[in-house]
């Protein structure tokens, strides 16, 4: 690899993104439970307190509604807060602020006030944290008008989405999958902001489109590699943004492959996969050779034991099987 | 009545005038509601005017205000123009929020008036955040948060008071304790009915004030703001008050009796202040007559403004759901 | 009408259902803000305090998380609480209790504990209550495993679903559309419990299926009547339960009509309509003559003025137009 | 050390034994975690045993318990069998929750142990509800709710305390104040760091107890339960304690220094009680040796039980998501 690339992890990429934002804009600050002294529940913000001090790396009490609401208020009054909620399950405590305030104030005020706020949270299963720490509610949040919802699945996006989100005048939720934090790879030393609209084709293919995001991307890519060995070329689309959805990229891919598998760790019923399926049939019904297929989380509060947890969400092997069944129905 | 040595004629005139215009406005709103010009919920502020007027008198333009659904009185006291407030009640494009919010969601950028929040307690964290931004940016503004005593039971109250006190933020909490949350008397919702004590338990400087006495409220607000601006951290004022009307227009008031209402009406903040100011020679009958006439004229004009205002075009329905920039 | 039928309203039907449950089972009680002295925000429980006393018609402070959680605890300990949350927007304050506790405890405890709790809430727009009082989140709740979600749209269901919900060992959410409370009609004097599983065909038809529920049912029926005048016979399905969904009734109807319009007041993206659309293409793709169509709420925090509010959600006229376009594409 | 006149040999033996078996169990859990037999988060209770043991000693079988994610100690003290608790930590079918909950979600119906709740503050409303049911059904049980001082800042704490006090419910709130919430020292999270005062502001009978003194905790719990059973309404105990280990297994403890930990270790509830009981002649060296051996034997057996327990079949993944009946 070129000298301009360096090894990093997803965790470090997020940290670098926060550091960059803090350096670039004095209005930016990070606020959340244990982001400071403790270094962040998932060690994302380790070292930032020492660098920026406790005003701007602001530890909060356990008060999700209070400090998320305070983030909204600070955004209304000129700041650019990054609020960290440790885990999406805890964000339910702040839902009033997110849905009833952040998402409505711009419209309800007739466009007088914007809420340029970023809320980061960890999401997803895979660490055996059981039913109050493992859910994937990003697709659920994507139902709410007034919000933008991002799911960085790569180092580039972990590094680059934050600044774009902070520049957006709207409240943006960024979901970081817990299994990604340790993901290693190389990143351009000069890596910076990336656009936050638009999906990305992470692997081109002709036989089917696999639409996914976040923690499921690497599983889909692994499945695609395995499928290639069977002669099935899967195109893998990383949604990147769950709200808004990039219909154009999806439809263009589906028009080429005529078959689509949507993979999503969230619960199946009423999940984001259903929305994608519905849009595909609305916009590309006559180009489909088969109904869009969904492979989603099993509808169960995530159980603790590994064999049950693994079985609760799509895995490379089940993705491969679903893709194969779609392309070569028996 | 709290006698304030420095109360000038002009100031007395202003206080009475503010309360009167709110009263006349609100009474007109009640009529307009029966005429179905104003729809949805409508929460009249009649009887509680001294709280908003006394508080807002003490503010500077840099201060910000977060109010509840009983916000028209707050907005008028804060200096939001009456025409746009009335147009908002109508849902017209000339309204403060272009009609999208209605009576419960008055927002006004020039006045730094951040709603009009209809989730009870939901405005408190916003005020904390406004104050946090102010402190971090070394601004001089104070965030003033008005809410009813019903909000005190909500978790968001608790989290907000703790944050404000812990971080010594410039917030003035103004609890309008009118003894009822819809039909629930405070004894039936709070294990500690002395709300100012409750606030003190967060180590917040906390005082109880006669909310039917505009001078007392203003004095308390001034004192509080001085303390806050001096870096002393948040202050909590519990204004003891009463609403003379139903909670909203759908309320048969089964939960309180007429005598109680009548007893409180004897303490009507307008009548009381007027009587006192007249007897103290601070105001003359002619002032009262003039103010009263001015209020009617202003409200008439506001109604005319609202009537004349167009509706938002249907094509704009989805406008402002996402912003394309942060307004400067 | 027969002597055994009597005039009533939806509001009274709910009240009668509560009264019946209170009389039948001493473990039942009603708890919520202003359900007692005030008689309920929408006057549903008027008079019940006088009849049953304040222990069992229990006014609560403004503490949604507290009293919903208390309802869960009471259900765990042998009671059969009916918890009223005034409006679905306020229920966001209680979401931690509903999603992290009520929906997970049975599974998380390995089946040791059930949560036989009913939560009633008002939902929907149409009363010009604007962006913090008017949303339709029942479809959103239907994403959560461990919950059952009901939407009574008729007097019979308003009267009959509650007791069945109370007999269910699971947490059941009942959504009452604010525009239905004043709906008048006749009800059998002996009306009682109705099953809570299964959709109902409210109007048979051959040309298309309209799938809907709750506040949109009467609008769909009105549209169907008007469509009949144009020679289009719409079958109208009332889902009644949003979780679980009654796939069989939907698919059987679609197999007959080959066209389906899903009508839902909730926001379109990620709403319950997307799920229904996805299921239909998964289960009946080859029986469809056209892609399933959705007519949903516009994705906007509901605005206050009547013309904008009306335009935010499906109305009989827009339903009729959408149905016509589906059957007679131009 | 609080000397209790009526402390018998048997009782002293029991208290020490309970604390010891929890300590040995927890230490074994730490080992099993490094062996990856236990996964996910694991929150050790080491150092805090006196709180659970002292409290649970005072309970009757009708009482119910609501705990946190630091719940293994609570469950053992409450009398939940150690084998199933260990099997739950493994995620095995023989676990209390058939393995589905893991270390943070011990539930046990016979012991009326309602979790194992991993949302900080989330158990408080449940306890209020358990107590409400008890009161409405005229039962004699008390709902005991354990939680850390970190939970005090949450809105659910506030709402729950108010409800319990307002309705005079039979709840015993036990705040295990170990001075830190993860890495956040209490001074950095609470404007009022005296938690028992905070509780008192709800007009709840509230006391501070030395949580490193099992006898003091038991005495306080007994007193509290008497008050509650007598219809006096809820009681709040603030147990001053300390966790000797990291918050969970992923914690570098950057937020406190070793000396502080060492200082608190001198007050180790097991060592202290043992020393005192020996010197007071209540226990003999042979008791200590025996208890210590028994604890190891019990933990060994629990590990064997967990090891031997099967996994839940994959086919049962969706079981219990919906119940088909309310368990009797
Ligand atoms: C979170 C929430 N719960 C319930 C309501 C319904 N509600 C509107 S006003 C009100 C009473 C509030 O009383 P209080 O805070 O004392 O203010 P007041 O109306 O007396 O000025 C209630 C219960 C609401 N708007 N928000
Ligand atoms: C609502 C919520 N927010 C955050 C967390 C993450 N978290 C788990 S334990 C903990 C600290 C709790 O401290 P405390 O209540 O004092 O209990 P302790 O761990 O000290 O026993 C935090 C922040 C959580 N589980 N739930
Ligand atoms: Mg009030
Ligand atoms: Mg602690």
For D210-258, how does the pLDDT look when each residue is reduced to its tens digit (9 = 90+)?
999 999 999 999 999 999 999 999 999 999 999 999 998 888 898 999 9
Residue among B102, B150, B156 whose CB faces C130 most closely: B102
Torsion of CA A93, A94, A100, A105, to 10 degrees: 170
Predicted pLDDT at A330: 80
Q: Is B120 in the pocket of ligand 1 (CB under 6 A)?
A: yes
Determine if the pTM surpasses 0.90. Answer: yes
- B91 CB-near residues (< 8 Å, 6+ apart): B39, B99, B100, B102, B311, C128, C303, C304, C305, C306, C308
Contact A143 C270 (CB under 8 A): yes
Domain membership flag for residue C193? no
Contact C76 D130 (CB under 8 A): yes
Choose one of B47, B182, B238 to mutate for the ligand 1 pocket test, by most ligand atoms within 8 angstroms of C-beta: B182
The residue in chain A having the minimum alpha-carbon distance to the alpha carbon of residue D316 is: A308
Domain membership flag for residue B51? yes
CB contact A308 to C (< 8 Å): no
Structural domain tally of chain D?
1
- With CA atoms as reference, report the closest residue to A14 among A41, A33, A38: A41
Q: Which residues of chain B have pLDDT under 50?
A: 1, 3
Predicted pLDDT at C2: 52
Do C254 and C169 reside in the same domain of the chain?
A: no
Q: Please name the residue ranges forming H helices in B61-194.
A: 72-78, 82-90, 123-136, 155-166
Do C292 and C183 reside in the same domain of the chain?
A: no
Residue labelled with tokens 């409240």: A171
Predicted pLDDT at B249: 83
In DSSP terms, which residues pair with B143 in a beta bridge? B64, B171
The residue in chain A having the minimum alpha-carbon distance to the alpha carbon of residue C93 is: A96
Please give the distance, rounded to the nearest whole angstrom, from the Cα atom of residue A38 to the centre of ligand 4: 14
The residue range of the domain holding C273 is 200-327
Residues of A forming the active site: 64, 133
Contact B136 A79 (CB under 8 A): yes
CB atoms within 10 A of CB A169: 17
Contact B125 A100 (CB under 8 A): no
Protein residue closest via CA to atom 18 of ligand 1: B148
Do A50 and A134 reside in the same domain of the chain?
A: yes
The residue range of the domain holding D220 is 9-309
Do A124 and A28 reside in the same domain of the chain?
A: yes
Do A151 and A11 reside in the same domain of the chain?
A: yes
Q: Which is the closest atom of ligand 2 to the Cα of D181?
A: 13
Closest ligand to Cα B159: 2
Ligand 4 ion: residues within 5 Å (CB): D 148-150, 178, 181
Pocket of ligand 2 from Cβ distances under 6 Å = A 33, 62, 64, 86, 90, 93; D 70, 118-120, 147-151, 176, 178, 180-182, 247
Domain membership flag for residue B189? yes
Choose one of D68, D103, D118, D150 to mutate for the ligand 2 pocket test, by most ligand atoms within 8 angstroms of C-beta: D150
A interface with B, Cβ–Cβ below 8 Å: 27, 29, 55-56, 60-61, 63, 65-79, 81, 96-97, 100-101, 105-114, 116, 145-146, 148, 169-170
Domain membership flag for residue B190? yes
What's the CATH code of the domain at D224?
A: 3.40.50.970
The residue in chain D having the minimum alpha-carbon distance to the alpha carbon of residue C97 is: D122
CA C285 to chain centre: 28
Domain membership flag for residue A193? no
Please give the distance, rounded to the nearest whole angstrom, from the Cα atom of residue A83 to the centre of ligand 2: 17
Domain membership flag for residue A88? yes
User: Strands A293-297 and A260-267: what pairing?
Assistant: parallel
Q: Which of residues 183-202 of B touch D (CB under 8 A)?
A: 188-192, 197-198, 201-202
- D116 CB-near residues (< 8 Å, 6+ apart): C108, D67, D68, D69, D71, D75, D97, D101, D104, D105, D106, D107
Q: Which of residues 29-68 of B touch D (CB under 8 A)?
A: none
Q: Are C130 and A108 in contact (CB under 8 A)?
A: yes
Domain membership flag for residue C43? yes
d(C-alpha B129, C-alpha B143), whole Å: 9
Domain membership flag for residue C195? no
- A112 CB-near residues (< 8 Å, 6+ apart): B96, B97, B107, B108, B109, B327
Q: Are B38 and B89 in contact (CB under 8 A)?
A: yes
Residue among C90, C267, C277 whose CB faces A281 most closely: C277
Q: Is B45 in the pocket of ligand 1 (CB under 6 A)?
A: no
How far is the alpha carbon of B295 from chain A, nearest alpha carbon, in Å? Answer: 27
Predicted pLDDT at C275: 98
Contact list, D192 vs chain B (CB under 8 Å):
165, 201-203
Contact A304 D121 (CB under 8 A): no
Domain membership flag for residue B275? yes
What's the CATH code of the domain at C316?
A: 3.40.50.920
How far is the alpha carbon of B251 from chain D, nearest alpha carbon, in Å? Answer: 25
- C302 CB-near residues (< 8 Å, 6+ apart): C125, C129, C130, C131, C134, C135, C309, C312, C313
- Tell me which of B62, B97, B126, B127 to substitute to probe the interface with A (most A C-beta atoms closer than 10 Å): B126
Do A208 and A184 reside in the same domain of the chain?
A: no
Predicted pLDDT at D250: 82
Average predicted confidence (pLDDT) for chain B: 97
Average predicted confidence (pLDDT) for chain A: 97
- With CA atoms as reference, report the closest residue to C69 among D131, D302, A322, A43: D131
Contact A61 B95 (CB under 8 A): no
Q: Give the number of beta-carbon pairs within 8 Å between A and B.
A: 158
CB contact C249 to A (< 8 Å): no
Count Cβ neighbours within 10 Å for each residue of A203-213 and write b for 16 or more, e otherwise.
bebebbbbbbb
Contact C66 B150 (CB under 8 A): no
Choose one of C40, C83, C85, C86 to mutate for the ligand 1 pocket test, by most ligand atoms within 8 angstroms of C-beta: C86
CA angle D252, D258, D263 (to 5 degrees): 135
Contact D254 A59 (CB under 8 A): no
Q: Is B195 in the pocket of ligand 1 (CB under 6 A)?
A: no
Predicted pLDDT at B4: 58
- Tell me which of C39, C45, C54, C61 to substitute to probe the interface with B (most B C-beta atoms closer than 10 Å): C61
Q: Is C86 in the pocket of ligand 1 (CB under 6 A)?
A: yes
- With CA atoms as reference, report the closest residue to D106 among D121, D91, D96: D96
DSSP annotation string for C73-100: HHHHTT-EEEEEEEETTGGGGGHIIIII
Q: Are C90 and B219 in contact (CB under 8 A)?
A: no
Q: Please name the residue ranges forming H helices in B79-183.
A: 82-90, 123-136, 155-166
Do A229 and A157 reside in the same domain of the chain?
A: no
Do C120 and C244 reside in the same domain of the chain?
A: no
Quick one: angle between helices B269-279 and B214-227, nearest 10? Answer: 100
Do C184 and C272 reside in the same domain of the chain?
A: no
Domain membership flag for residue B106? yes
- With CA atoms as reference, report the closest residue to C130 among C283, C275, C306: C306
CB contact C87 to A (< 8 Å): no
Q: Which residues of chain D have pLDDT under 70?
A: 1-5
Do A179 and A209 reside in the same domain of the chain?
A: no
Do A43 and A143 reside in the same domain of the chain?
A: yes
Asked about C143 being catalytic, the answer comes back as no
Domain membership flag for residue A195? no
Domain membership flag for residue C247? yes
- Assess: ipTM above 0.90: yes
Which residue among C12, C64, C176, C265 is the active-site one?
C64
d(C-alpha C104, C-alpha C150), whole Å: 19
Reduced DSSP (H G I as helix, E B as strand, rest coil) percent helix, strand, coil of chain C, to 5: 40, 20, 35
Domain membership flag for residue A171? yes
Predicted pLDDT at A2: 52
Torsion of CA C1, C6, C12, C15, to 10 degrees: -120
In DSSP terms, which residues pair with D174 in a beta bridge? D146, D237
Please give the distance, rounded to the nearest whole angstrom, from the Cα atom of residue B119 to the centre of ligand 3: 14
Per-residue pLDDT of chain C (330 residues; tens, 9 = 90+): 455 899 999 999 999 999 999 999 999 999 999 999 999 999 999 999 999 999 999 999 999 999 999 999 999 999 999 999 999 999 999 999 999 999 999 999 999 999 999 999 999 999 999 999 999 999 999 999 999 999 999 999 999 999 999 999 999 999 999 999 999 999 999 999 999 999 999 999 999 999 999 999 999 999 999 999 999 999 999 999 999 999 999 999 999 999 999 999 999 999 999 999 999 999 999 999 999 999 999 999 999 999 999 999 999 999 999 999 999 988
Do C148 and C279 reside in the same domain of the chain?
A: no
Domain membership flag for residue D316? no
Q: Tell me if residue D237 falls in helix, strand or coil.
A: strand
Contact D191 B197 (CB under 8 A): no
Please give the distance, rounded to the nearest whole angstrom, from the Cα atom of residue D246 to the centre of ligand 2: 13
Domain membership flag for residue D122? yes
Mark residue B72 as left, alpha or beta (left: phi above 0; alpha: psi -120 to 50; beta: remaining).
alpha
Q: Which is the closest atom of ligand 1 to the Cα of B147?
A: 15
Predicted pLDDT at D55: 98
Structural domain tally of chain A?
2
- With CA atoms as reference, report the closest residue to C270 among A238, A266, A173, A274: A274
Q: Give the number of beta-carbon pairs within 8 Å between A and D.
A: 127
The residue in chain B having the minimum alpha-carbon distance to the alpha carbon of residue D151 is: B159
């Amino acid at each position: 690899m070129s000298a301009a690339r360096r090894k990093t992890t997803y965790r470090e990429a997020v940290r670098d993104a926060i550091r960059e934002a803090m350096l670039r804009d004095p209005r930016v600050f990070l606020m959340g439970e244990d982001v400071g002294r403790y270094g962040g529940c998932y060690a994302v913000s380790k070292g930032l307190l020492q660098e920026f001090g406790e005003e701007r790396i602001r530890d909060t009490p356990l008060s999700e509604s209070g400090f998320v609401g305070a983030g909204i208020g600070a955004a209304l009054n000129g700041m650019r807060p990054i609020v960290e909620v440790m885990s999406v399950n805890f964000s339910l405590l702040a839902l009033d602020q997110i849905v009833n305030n952040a998402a409505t104030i711009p419209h309800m005020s007739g466009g007088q006030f914007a809420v340029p706020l970023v809320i980061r949270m960890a999401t997803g299963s895979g660490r055996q944290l059981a039913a109050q720490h493992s859910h994937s509610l990003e697709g659920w949040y994507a139902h709410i008008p007034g919000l933008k919802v991002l799911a960085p699945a790569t180092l580039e996006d972990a590094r680059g989405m934050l600044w774009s989100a902070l520049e957006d005048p709207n409240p943006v939720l960024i979901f970081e999958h817990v299994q990604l934090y340790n993901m290693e790879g190389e990143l351009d030393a000069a890596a910076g902001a990336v656009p936050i609209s638009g999906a990305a084709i992470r692997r081109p293919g002709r036989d089917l489109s696999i639409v996914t995001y976040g923690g499921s991307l690497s599983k889909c890519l692994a499945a695609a590699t395995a499928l290639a060995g069977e002669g099935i070329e899967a195109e893998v689309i990383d949604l990147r943004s769950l709200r808004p959805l990039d219909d154009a990229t999806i439809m263009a891919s589906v028009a080429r492959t005529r078959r689509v598998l949507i993979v999503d760790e969230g619960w199946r019923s009423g999940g984001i996969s259903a929305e994608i399926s519905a849009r595909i049939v609305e916009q590309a019904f006559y180009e489909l050779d088969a109904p869009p297929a969904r492979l989603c989380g099993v509808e169960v509060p995530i159980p603790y034991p590994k064999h049950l947890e693994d079985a609760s969400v799509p895995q490379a092997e089940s993705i491969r099987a679903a893709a194969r069944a779609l392309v070569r129905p028996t | 009545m709290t006698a304030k040595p420095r109360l000038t004629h002009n100031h007395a005139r202003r206080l009475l005038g503010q309360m009167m215009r709110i009263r006349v406005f609100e009474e007109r709103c009640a009529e307009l509601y029966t005429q179905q010009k104003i729809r949805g919920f409508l929460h009249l502020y009649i009887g509680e005017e001294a709280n908003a007027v006394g508080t807002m008198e003490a503010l500077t333009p840099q201060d910000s205000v977060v109010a509840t659904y009983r916000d028209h009185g707050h907005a008028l006291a804060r200096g939001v123009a009456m025409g746009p407030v009335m147009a908002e009640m109508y849902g017209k494009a000339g309204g403060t929020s272009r009609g999208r919010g209605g009576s419960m969601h008055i927002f006004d950028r020039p006045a730094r008036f951040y709603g009009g929040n209809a989730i009870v307690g939901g405005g408190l964290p916003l005020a904390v955040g406004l104050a946090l931004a102010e402190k971090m940016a070394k601004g001089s503004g104070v965030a003033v948060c008005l809410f009813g005593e019903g909000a005190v039971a909500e978790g968001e109250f608790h989290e907000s008071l703790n944050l404000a006190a812990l971080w010594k933020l410039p917030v003035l909490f103004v609890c309008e304790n009118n003894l009822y949350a819809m039909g629930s008397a405070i004894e039936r919702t709070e294990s500690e009915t002395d709300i100012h004590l409750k606030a003190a338990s967060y180590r917040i400087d906390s005082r109880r004030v006669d909310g039917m006495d505009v001078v007392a409220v203003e004095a308390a607000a001034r004192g509080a703001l001085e303390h806050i601006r001096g870096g002393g951290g948040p202050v909590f004022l519990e204004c003891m008050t009463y609403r003379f009307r139903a909670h909203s227009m759908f309320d048969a008031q089964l939960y309180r009796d007429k005598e109680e209402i009548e007893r409180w009406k004897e303490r009507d903040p307008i009548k009381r202040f007027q009587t006192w100011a007249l007897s103290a020679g601070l105001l003359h009958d002619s002032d009262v007559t003039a103010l009263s006439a001015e209020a009617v004229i202003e409200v008439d004009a506001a109604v005319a403004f609202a009537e004349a205002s167009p509706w938002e075009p249907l094509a704009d329905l989805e406008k402002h759901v996402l912003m394309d920039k942060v307004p400067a």
